[in-house]
């Protein structure tokens, strides 16, 4: 613990990224939250979180660049944050050393939710900037490519830190909307995804997130279970409500680890939510049905002795840190 605190001091002194003061009520809430429940946000580099997560730097918010490089250590000191989603990995692979650098900045018990590169989950290659499809993707569902570029570096960097503590949480394969060409035969696609996961290296918790409502089926959940993986609940405007997904996937019985990514408020698109919610320092549109459902699922899963990982985007309600706090309160109150 001493070496960890020394690391933090070095980062803070050099870059001025300190955690914001936390009141006793929040600390008590963190203490009351069951240990198997890991709540956190999607990334951490948001200057608008000054006062919520970060202290001001020389009287003003730290820059996004400074937070991206050095804010994780301060983020991980918040008593409610036990995970974070590494989203940058969706756009390109990281080396084992880069993963290890992240792992060195967080305490025991902290786990990373890591998104797989789109290079193995998107069936097409897209033009940078516009996202326009240019051609079929030759590495779509290529297990060898996923293992070499993503799984092995993540495990090498996150499985242990210098003190030997594991840092790897779920490795999430998020599939974009795949369209009629793929979802027309949903059982075949489910079997293909499961076959892909089945040959990945054993050890980590693999989670599969889909963005086509047609794939939210017991068949996909069963196929993933046979492959040693779980569905990831996608709390997203284009997807069914949380309770409906949980029933379809069989996650409402607490028999599997719970992985959920609370991404986007119903009826919203990302750009509109970003414009209306910026700078992400307050709740703008609360989503009580999703919060209530996630709290109930988290409680049931933890009570069954299974781990829970829920990460929240600013576009879910307006401010991910405040959404985490409200969700934590809902879980504890229901307990």
**pLDDT tens digits for 155-205?**
999 975 444 457 999 999 999 999 888 999 999 999 999 999 999 999 999
Residue whose token pair is 């900037």: 129
* Choice between 162 and 238, residue whose per-residue pLDDT is larger: 238
For the chain, percent of residues with pLDDT exceeding 70: 93
**pLDDT score recorded for residue 174:** 97
Gap between the Cα atoms of 305 and 230, Å rounded: 16
For the chain, percent of residues with pLDDT exceeding 90: 84
HEC per residue, the chain: CHHHHHHHHHHHHHHCCCECCCCHHHHHHHHHCCCCEEEEEECCCCHHHECCCECCECCECCCHHHHHHHCHHHHCCCCCCCEEEECHHHCCCCCHHHHHHHHCCCCCCCEEEEECCHHHCCCEEECCCCCCEEEECCCCCCHHHHHHHHHHHHHHHHCCCCCCCCCEEEEEEECCCCCHHHHCCHHHHHHHHHHHHHCCCCCCCEEEECCCHHHCCHHHHHHHHHCCEEEEEEECCCCCCHHHHHHHHCHHHCCCCEEEEECCCCCCCHHHHHHHHCCCCCCCCCCHHHHHHHHHHHHHHHHCCCCEEEEECHHHHCCHHHHHHHHHHHHHHHC
**pLDDT score recorded for residue 7:** 41
Give pLDDT tens digits for 253-281: 878 999 999 999 999 999 999 999 999 99
Above 60 in pLDDT, residue 11? Answer: no
Look at strands 133-136 and 168-174 and give their pairing: unpaired
Using the Cα atoms of residue 234, residue 237, residue 240 and residue 241 in order, give the sign of their dihedral: positive
Q: What would the mean pLDDT of 240-253 be, rounded to a whole number?
A: 95
Above 60 in pLDDT, residue 140? Answer: yes
Give pLDDT tens digits for 222-233: 999 999 999 999
Give pLDDT tens digits for 55-66: 998 889 999 999
**pLDDT score recorded for residue 33:** 97
**pLDDT score recorded for residue 134:** 86
Above 50 in pLDDT, residue 1? Answer: no
Above 70 in pLDDT, residue 250? Answer: yes
Residue 176 phi, psi (nearest 5):
-70, 175
**pLDDT score recorded for residue 254:** 76
**pLDDT score recorded for residue 14:** 43
The structural domains of the chain, ordered by start, are 2-334 (3.20.20.410)
**pLDDT score recorded for residue 15:** 56
Q: What is the pTM of this model?
A: 0.92
Gap between the Cα atoms of 71 and 53, Å rounded: 9
Q: From residue 296, how far is each of 5, 85, 240, 288, 290 by CA, in Å?
A: 35, 22, 17, 12, 10
């Amino acid at each position: 613990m001493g070496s960890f605190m020394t690391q933090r001091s070095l980062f803070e002194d050099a870059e001025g990224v300190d955690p914001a003061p936390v009141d006793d009520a929040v600390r008590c809430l963190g203490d009351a939250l069951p240990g198997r429940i890991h709540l956190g946000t999607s990334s951490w580099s948001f200057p608008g979180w000054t006062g919520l997560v970060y202290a001001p730097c020389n009287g003003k918010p730290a820059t996004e660049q400074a937070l991206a490089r050095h804010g994780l250590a301060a983020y991980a000191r918040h008593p409610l944050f036990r995970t974070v989603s590494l989203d940058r990995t969706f756009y390109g692979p990281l080396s084992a050393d880069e993963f290890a650098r992240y792992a060195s900045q967080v305490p025991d018990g902290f786990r990373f939710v890591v998104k797989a590169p789109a290079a193995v989950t998107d069936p097409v290659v897209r033009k940078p900037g516009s996202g326009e499809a240019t051609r079929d993707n030759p590495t779509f569902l290529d297990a060898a490519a996923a293992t070499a570029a993503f799984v092995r570096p993540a495990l090498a960097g996150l499985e242990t830190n210098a003190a030997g503590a594991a840092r790897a949480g779920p490795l999430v394969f998020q599939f974009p909307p795949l369209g009629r060409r793929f979802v027309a035969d949903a059982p075949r696609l489910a079997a293909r995804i499961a076959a892909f996961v089945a040959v990945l290296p054993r050890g980590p918790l693999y989670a599969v997130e889909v963005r086509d409502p047609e794939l939210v089926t017991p068949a996909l959940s069963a196929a993933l279970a046979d492959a040693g993986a779980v569905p990831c609940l996608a709390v997203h405007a284009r997807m069914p409500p949380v309770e409906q997904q949980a029933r379809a996937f069989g996650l409402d019985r607490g028999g599997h680890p719970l992985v959920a990514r609370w991404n986007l408020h119903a009826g919203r698109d990302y750009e509109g939510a970003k414009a209306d919610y910026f700078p992400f320092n307050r709740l703008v549109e609360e989503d009580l049905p999703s919060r209530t459902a996630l709290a109930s699922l988290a409680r049931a899963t933890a009570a069954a002795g299974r781990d829970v990982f829920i990460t929240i985007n600013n576009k879910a309600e307006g401010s991910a840190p405040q959404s985490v706090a409200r969700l934590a309160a809902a879980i504890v109150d229901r307990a």
